Chain A
Amino acid sequence: MSSDEMQSVEKQPPVTIADLSQECMEVFERLTIIGDLLEISEAIASGKELSYALQMVAERAAKSVDAEITAVGLIDWKPRELHYVQSYGRLADRVTGSRIPLTESVRKLVKKSGEPVVINDAAADSRIPQDLVAEWGLHSLLVVPMKIRKKVIGVLAAANGLGKPFAVRDLRVFETIANHGAVAVAHAELHARARHALSDLEAEKMKIEAVLTQLGDGVVVADSQGRIIMMNAAAERIVELPSTEGCGRGILEVFPKTYRGEVHSVIKHLQQSNPKDGLFWEQNVALLDGKTVRVNMRPVFLKNGAFVGTASVMQDITEHVELDEAKSEFISTVAHELRTPLTALKGSLGLTLGGAAGEVEPRLRELMGIAQNNCDRLIRLVDDMLDVAKIESGHLSLDLQVVSIKDRVARAVNQMRELASERQVKLAARTMGRPRSVVCDGDRIEQVVTNLLANAIRFAPAGSTVDIVVSQVHGYVKVNVTDRGPGIPTGEQKKVFEKFYQVSGQSWARDGGSGLGLAISKAIVEQHGGKIGLRSTEGKGSTFFFLLPVPGEEALLSNGRDD
């Protein structure tokens, strides 16, 4: 109720029966109006077609101002027209669907700062398209803009023929109904947009799903609780679980029991990690059915850094692993096949020369000695070739242990003493500083030292000394082997680490070498994370050295904490 109405009630003290019934009528009228509005609201909220709500708007609007015609017009910006989408009353079927060009005058009429407009002589008003006035027999017009967030989106219009003018007082209810109409339109738009967004999402999802399905690798996504929320076709194949059964299960169930403890703690670590850490877990997992899969599990974070789950890619590498095993089996078989005849040869020669078959005459002894030397050379060559095969197929496995390099060097030096004294070369080993222990494959490192010593002794002039120094250099233990031999030309210093490479013009020193020793040594040292190199001056000698990383103080401490 507006304040002037309240005042007018106060100013009329004697209330008559007629007054009361008038009041009642008004209250009743208002109640029906409120009922109408409620009905419109319900129609809007029910999510029915927009036309249904607008039809109701037109109908109730007609009732509220006692109009012959009402229509809801919406602005179409593309062709700049006012499109009457719904109408009620006389001429409804002609008005509905009609379009009025949005001329400047019509626009003014519609907008007119968003206020209602009452025109009681349409024929005299230039703002009204006169052809319509004549065609539809319009006389009085009531136009109320419909607004969404202050923006005019259309009109609710009412029209009467001659003799039925609109009163300005009627407008409040009419306006309210117009507002409801606007809400209905807004609602419908929102719905349409949501549907659109939804179908966009749907399409996006289908695209992603299509890609994931096509993917040969399995993809399993789990939420922050470790429950599987997505599995692609490849993952279903790999873990032999249809995704309908897989989804909702714990991700641990994808893994054989023996891995679950590890995966559990991995997930915990990933969960607590920082997106910046880039932490992930990669591991070959042997499934129960004999398949081997390479699993790469990564945490998934939202933009704000919140952990929302894990994504795992599973690559079936069964064939790869089988091929790998076949390769190493092949190397192993070749080793056996080559070494068996060499065993018989070496055994026979050794026994004969050792007198097991009686005295050996000197000429024969000399010849058999040659056979024996070459047999040994062949054995070394086979060993080296097998090492190269292992290195090249990635099968050089290291048996890592805490090792004193000093001790290993001493052992290698002792082994080579006999050869050195044959060549009249002295071996002088010493340590500098306090070389620490190194985590390495002791036998393989000894092999490297033996290789370097064999080379140095081979090239050292008779009467000279080969120096062996073990030292501690920053985070490394360093081993130097220095000879006073011919040295290596600068241009060839890198090449000596290539397999089969031998420095040209050293034929006098080519006894027993095949050019594999340094290549193998380099591979061994590098697989330890170390470095190998040389310094040499032609005519003066060479120093071959290698460095092995010592687990740093910090690394040791943090290891201790972890354990």
Chain B
Amino acid sequence: MKARKILIIEDEPEIRLILEMCLQHSGCFDTILACDGLEGIEMAREEAPDLILIDAVMPRLDGYATCRILKQDTELKDIPVIFLTAKTDRREIKRAIRAGACGYLPKPFDPLQLANQIDRIAEGAESP
């Protein structure tokens, strides 16, 4: 199976690095990185990724706002967006779903399971 291109939007550099290593280590994903929402949207336009993994809490444009913008863009709206959130509050999760996310993953995550979990959510999004 051909590796899919995943865009990681995460403001914390260390977590960004870990996410990148996790997904490359799994062998299922090629990763591209953005350090905030604005950069993420730009990169999504340029790179047309298969999937977007986005952090909920970020300065400038947070995950929710970014997701809403992505979902309003005719060219980008079909790319599945998965949230990563340290706030596992139901309210936050509902907010993510309302913003157009197809799923969420809690932080902290198991680095060896992450790729699998992303796959499962993405599959679920394709065949509801």
Q: What is A's interface to B at a CB cutoff of 8 Å?
A: 332, 335-336, 339-340, 342-348, 350-351, 354, 356, 379, 397, 399
Q: In the complex, A344→B107 CA distance in Å?
A: 9
A334 to chain B, nearest CB (A): 10
Residues of B3-53 contacting chain A, CB below 8 A: 12, 14-15, 18-19, 21-22, 25
Give the chain A neighbours of B107 by CB distance below 8 A.
339-340, 342-343
Are A343 and B15 closer than 8 Å at their CB atoms? yes
Are B86 and A346 closer than 8 Å at their CB atoms? no
Are A344 and B14 closer than 8 Å at their CB atoms? yes
How would residues 64 to 100 of chain B score, 1 for a CB under 8 Å from any chain A CB and 0 otherwise? Answer: 0000000000000000000000111111100000000
Closest to B90 in A: A399
Are A347 and B90 closer than 8 Å at their CB atoms? no
Is B57 in the interface zone, CB < 8 Å from A? yes
B4 to chain A, nearest CB (A): 19
Extra contacts besides A336-B87, A343-B108, A356-B111 (15): CB < 8 Å = A332-B87, A339-B107, A339-B108, A343-B86, A344-B14, A344-B18, A346-B108, A346-B111, A347-B15, A347-B18, A347-B109, A347-B111, A350-B112, A351-B25, A351-B111
Give the chain A neighbours of B111 by CB distance below 8 A.
346-347, 350-351, 354, 356
Are A342 and B108 closer than 8 Å at their CB atoms? yes
Are A336 and B86 closer than 8 Å at their CB atoms? yes
Give the chain A neighbours of B15 by CB distance below 8 A.
340, 343-344, 347
Are B112 and A348 closer than 8 Å at their CB atoms? no
Q: In the complex, A437→B22 CA distance in Å?
A: 40
Q: What is B's interface to A at a CB cutoff of 8 Å?
A: 12, 14-15, 18-19, 21-22, 25, 57, 86-92, 107-112
Closest to A336 in B: B86
Among candidates A345, A351, A399, residue contacting B21 with C-beta atoms closer than 8 Å: A351
Are A347 and B57 closer than 8 Å at their CB atoms? no
Q: In the complex, A339→B109 CA distance in Å?
A: 10
Give the chain B neighbours of A354 by CB distance below 8 A.
25, 111-112
Are B108 and A397 closer than 8 Å at their CB atoms? no
Give the chain A neighbours of B86 by CB distance below 8 A.
335-336, 339-340, 343
Among candidates B22, B87, B90, B91, residue contacting A351 with C-beta atoms closer than 8 Å: B22
Give the chain B neighbours of A346 by CB distance below 8 A.
108-111
A189 to chain B, nearest CB (A): 72
B58 to chain A, nearest CB (A): 11
Are B21 and A379 closer than 8 Å at their CB atoms? no
B115 to chain A, nearest CB (A): 11
B16 to chain A, nearest CB (A): 10
Are A350 and B57 closer than 8 Å at their CB atoms? no
Give the chain B neighbours of A347 by CB distance below 8 A.
15, 18-19, 22, 108-109, 111
Q: In the complex, A356→B17 CA distance in Å?
A: 12
Are B92 and A350 closer than 8 Å at their CB atoms? no
B68 to chain A, nearest CB (A): 20
Are B12 and A332 closer than 8 Å at their CB atoms? no
Q: In the complex, A344→B90 CA distance in Å?
A: 23
B69 to chain A, nearest CB (A): 22
Give the chain A neighbours of B57 by CB distance below 8 A.
336
Known contacts A335-B89, A339-B86, A399-B90; decide if A351 and B18 are in contact (CB<8 Å).
Answer: yes
For B19, B25, B111, the residue with the greatest tally of chain A CB atoms inside 10 Å of its CB is: B111
Are B108 and A356 closer than 8 Å at their CB atoms? no
Among candidates A340, A356, A399, residue contacting B12 with C-beta atoms closer than 8 Å: A340
A82 to chain B, nearest CB (A): 87
Are A343 and B112 closer than 8 Å at their CB atoms? no
Closest to A378 in B: B108
Are B12 and A344 closer than 8 Å at their CB atoms? yes
Closest to A443 in B: B90
A504 to chain B, nearest CB (A): 33
Closest to A390 in B: B89
For A339, A346, A347, A351, the residue with the greatest tally of chain B CB atoms inside 10 Å of its CB is: A347
Among candidates A335, A350, A356, residue contacting B110 with C-beta atoms closer than 8 Å: A350
Give the chain A neighbours of B22 by CB distance below 8 A.
347, 351, 356
For A336, A342, A346, the residue with the greatest tally of chain B CB atoms inside 10 Å of its CB is: A336
Are B90 and A332 closer than 8 Å at their CB atoms? no
Q: In the complex, A339→B12 CA distance in Å?
A: 12
Q: In the complex, A340→B15 CA distance in Å?
A: 8
Closest to B18 in A: A347
Give the chain A neighbours of B90 by CB distance below 8 A.
397, 399
Closest to A350 in B: B111
Are A356 and B109 closer than 8 Å at their CB atoms? no
Are B25 and A356 closer than 8 Å at their CB atoms? yes
Closest to A398 in B: B90
**What are 28 sample pairs from A and B whose C-beta atoms fall under 8 A apart?**
A332-B87, A335-B86, A335-B89, A336-B57, A336-B87, A340-B12, A340-B15, A342-B108, A343-B15, A343-B18, A343-B86, A344-B12, A344-B15, A345-B108, A346-B111, A347-B15, A347-B19, A347-B22, A347-B108, A347-B111, A351-B22, A354-B25, A354-B111, A356-B21, A356-B22, A356-B25, A379-B108, A397-B91
Q: Which 7 A-B pairs have the closest CB atoms?
A: A347-B18, A350-B111, A339-B86, A343-B108, A346-B108, A343-B107, A336-B86
